[in-house]
Structure 1
Amino acid sequence: MEQKIYYEDYELGSTRTTIGRTITEADIVLHAGQTGDFFPHHMDAEFAKTTEFGKRIAHGTLTFSVAVGSTANVINPVAFSYGYDHLRFIRPVFIGDTIHTKVTIHNKEDHKKNPNMGIITERLEVINQNDETVLVADHLLMCQKKAAL
């Protein structure tokens, strides 16, 4: 779905929540193959039994990728991702956990060098099936202003 959402259209405090996605063993194996991260916490069930978690955990980068991907349901031709700040892995995600992402418009500011653009900060909270936050991050979105038209 394509929708033009300009800087001025974003309202501080507004939220949206994605649908859930269950993390599978296949997700972990594929992510390891794509990234080269075969760390035993993710891949070795016997090793993982000796850790504080007692079983394999999903890669933090896998959790982040799935969470961010679930938010990408609108194509906005007047905005683009400018990056992520303050990424933290709060709790582990296990095989079989279902996660969803809550997105809150946290901040708006003018771009320092381009008066036709603004930066929207979306606060991402990734939440598991037990209503526990497992990951947080701030998504910076570069967005055109209506005044630039």
Structure 2
Amino acid sequence: MMIVEAYFEDYEIGSERTTFGRTMTESDIVTHAGQTGDHFPHHMDKEWCATQEFRERIAHGTLVFSVAVGMTASVINPRAMSYGYDKLRFVRPVFIGDTITVNARIRDKREHPKRQEHGLVYESLTVTKQNGETVMVCDHVYLVERRSLERAG
């Protein structure tokens, strides 16, 4: 983990980073099912899944989201915090043995409508698996401290 102080003014639209890969395991799915109570057969029943379109167990969308977000958390910025996620979509399934990678790109910066001392930074996350298919997308919104109030106006 690395600490990097970056103010709202420091974020550049178009800058991006890509994570290392992470392979989804059966243990990931079973643990997530236990934590969330989501024991639907799509995730837990190998025999039932064999009769369905995808033919194998699917990782929970919320598991893919959680792992992907964790993969991007390699830098701590004491001047920013997560403000939430927008436009979350599970585009394709992730199966046991698939390796996911996350690309995070700063796509926009906006004034905060009520807080002059902060701005909003929008980071688009695109999660792909080993074959290049996109499996999940969303926008991560950061609340980021401004360097000075004089620049806010």
Which bin holds the TM-score, normalised by the shorter protein?
over 0.9
Say which SS state the counterpart of residue 49 (structure 2) adopts. helix
Match runs of 1:1-149 below 5 Å? 1-148=2-149
Cα distance in 2 for partners of 1:51, 1:146 equals 54
Q: Which amino acid aligns with 2:52?
A: T
Cα distance in 2 for partners of 1:38, 1:141 equals 32
Q: Which runs of 4+ in 1 moved over 6 A?
A: none
Number of matched pairs: 149
Q: TM-score, normalised by structure 2?
A: 0.95
Gaps of 5+ in 1: none
Task: Give 1:148 shift.
Answer: 4.2
Identity %: 60
Say which SS state the counterpart of residue 65 (structure 1) adopts. helix
Task: Give 1:51 shift.
Answer: 1.4
When the two chains are superposed, the root-mean-square deviation of aligned CA atoms in Å is 1.0
Q: Which amino acid aligns with 1:60?
A: G
Gaps of 5+ in 2: none
Cα-to-partner distance string for 1:87-113 (whole Å, 9 max, x where unaligned): 000000000000010000011001010
